Amino acid sequence: LLQIFDAFKPRLHDSNSKVTQVALEALHKMIPLLKDSLAPVINMLIPAIVDNNLNSKNPGIYTAATNVIQALCQHLDTSLLLQPLCTKAQFLSGKAKQDLTEKLA
Q: Which residues of 57-84 are buried (b: 16+ CB within 10 A; e: fewer)?
A: eeeebbebbbbbbebbeeebeeebbeeb
Count of CB atoms within 10 A of residue 30's CB? 16
Query: Would you call 19 exposed, middle or buried from its count of C-beta atoms within 10 A (0-12, 13-18, 19+)?
Result: middle
Query: Which CATH number does 1-103 carry?
Result: 1.25.10.10
For the entire predicted model, the pTM comes to 0.93
Q: Contact at 8 Å (CB) between 8 and 45?
A: no
pLDDT for 105 equals: 84
**pLDDT, tens digit (0-9, with 9 covering 90-100), for 25-39:** 999 999 999 999 999
pLDDT for 52 equals: 87
Residue ranges of the domains in the chain? 1-103
Query: Would you call 1 exposed, middle or buried from its count of C-beta atoms within 10 A (0-12, 13-18, 19+)?
Result: exposed
Mean pLDDT within 89-95: 90
Orientation of helix 59-75 relative to helix 42-50, angle to 10° = 150
| Amino acid sitting at position 31 | I
Q: How far apart are CA 79 and CA 92, in angstroms?
A: 21
Average pLDDT, the chain: 94
